[in-house]
Amino acid sequence: MRFTTSGFSRKKLAVATATLAATALLLTGCAGGSGTAPSTDGAAAGGGGDTSVTFIPKSLGNKYFEASDKGAAEAADELGMTFKEEGPTATGSADQVPFIQTAIQTGQKSIAIAANDPTAVCNDLEQARSQGVKVVAYDTDTDCRDVFVNQATVDGIAEGLVKLTADHLGEEGGTIAILSGGANAANLNAWVDAIQALIKKDHPNITVAKVAYGDDVDEKAYQEAQGLMQSIPDLKAIIAPDTVSVKEAAHYLADTPEYQGKVWVTGLGLPSEMAEYVESGIVEEFGLWNPEDLGYLASYAADALIAGTITGEEGDTFEAGKLGEYTVGEGGEIVLGPMFVFNKENVGDFSF
């Protein structure tokens, strides 16, 4: 308490000295750490013509973003760009803000961001753009960017999944079902609608008997897959445009030999989760986009923005290394390409 009279100074002296010591320690830590940083930063800021990009994923330690940032680093290497990956460990709405600020302050020429919260980062992204920093959104769009590198369009996903299924069913077609995730998930519902519309238009021999929802929960999706296979006797295929649903549909199929070879499962899945089913032949093919290519393209887009090859205007074109030429579409969107198909040959190559 404030009015303690004895033993006062020694205790406080001890606290004071110790805190100072702690700070000194921290500071030496800082100084040591910063010893490496400024050399690259200094070069980036002072070099003028040098290009640099900071990738800010939704969070660190996420395999999907590790893959995309790996592709981004590869592209930056090819382009001779200084590459940095920095991001939060949590996915709160404002958690990415300090990293945008740091990128502005350290004179980065461009920022590529997968925003957790497209609005919350806007203020700082606008600040960045007002200082000439080019902003590329990847994976998730925000309002305040120069271009958005979109991994997949609704139609692209629908076309990809319907093509896989139609190719499998062949001429005779048959009855299929859709197993989605949450009934209220906007992106999933858009895909489901597009899949149904496309089947109606192009494949009159295929009927969608039912749309079920796994609610993003393993157990629920498993039970829904079970329900579909039991209640629809002539079911030939399930399309599951949700990573949990496709995994659990495959899981149920693996547990139930009588449906194997009878019901065919495909959807949007993660290679790490689907590998065991693909390798055992339960699932032949499934789709997603390739996050490494997504990061790779985002780096090339950032470089093209810095160089002035593109400005985000519709119709601008640029070369993206091994991926070839890309054109900026409506609203500054650059679409990665058709759905990437995983099968027995390539599923083991991906770690996300």
Q: Is 262 in the site for other proteins (CB under 8 A)?
A: no
Q: Is 128 in the site for other proteins (CB under 8 A)?
A: no
Can you read off the two tokens belonging to residue 343? Answer: 């099968």
Q: Give the whole-angstrom CA distance, residue 84 versus residue 52.
A: 8
Looking only at residues 46 through 65 of this chain, which bind other proteins when binding is defined by CB under 8 A?
60
Query: Facing residues of 340 across strands?
Result: 288
Give the helix/strand (H/E) hosting 93: none
How many binding residues for other proteins (CB under 8 A)?
62
Q: Is 97 in the site for other proteins (CB under 8 A)?
A: yes
**The one-letter amino acid at 37:** A
Q: Is 6 in the site for other proteins (CB under 8 A)?
A: yes
Q: Is 183 in the site for other proteins (CB under 8 A)?
A: no
User: Between 89 and 201, whose beta carbon lies closer to other proteins?
Assistant: 89
Q: Which stretch binds other proteins (CB under 8 A): 6-14, 212-220, 251-259, 263-271?
A: 6-14
Q: Give the whole-angstrom CA distance, residue 131 versus residue 126.
A: 9
Cβ partners under 8 Å of residue 68, min gap 6: 57, 114, 138, 139, 291, 292, 294, 295, 298
Q: Is 214 in the site for other proteins (CB under 8 A)?
A: no
Contact (Cβ atoms closer than 8 angstroms) between residue 238 and residue 211: no
Q: Is 84 in the site for other proteins (CB under 8 A)?
A: yes
The correct pick among 78, 86, 141, 276 for binding other proteins (CB under 8 A) is 86
User: Between 120 and 323, whose beta carbon lies closer to other proteins?
Assistant: 120
Q: Give the whole-angstrom CA distance, residue 348 versus residue 11.
A: 61
3-state secondary structure 261-299: CCEEEEEECCHHHHHHHHHCCCCCCEEECCHHHHHHHHH
Q: Which stretch binds other proteins (CB under 8 A): 41-49, 159-167, 171-179, 281-289?
A: 41-49
Q: Is 351 in the site for other proteins (CB under 8 A)?
A: no
The correct pick among 48, 49, 89, 233 for binding other proteins (CB under 8 A) is 89
Q: Is 130 in the site for other proteins (CB under 8 A)?
A: no
The correct pick among 53, 79, 104, 136 for binding other proteins (CB under 8 A) is 104
Cβ partners under 8 Å of residue 111, min gap 6: 53, 54, 56, 100, 103, 125, 128, 133, 134, 135, 136, 302
Q: Is 45 in the site for other proteins (CB under 8 A)?
A: yes
Q: Is 327 in the site for other proteins (CB under 8 A)?
A: no
Looking only at residues 272 through 311 of this chain, which bind other proteins when binding is defined by CB under 8 A?
none
Q: Give the whole-angstrom CA distance, residue 40 versus residue 119.
A: 31
Residue 270 phi, psi dihedral angles, 5° rounding: -95, 130
Binding site for other proteins (CB under 8 A): 1-16, 18-20, 22-24, 26-27, 29-31, 33-34, 36-38, 41-42, 45, 60, 84, 86-90, 92-94, 97-99, 101-102, 104-107, 117, 119-120, 122-123, 184-186
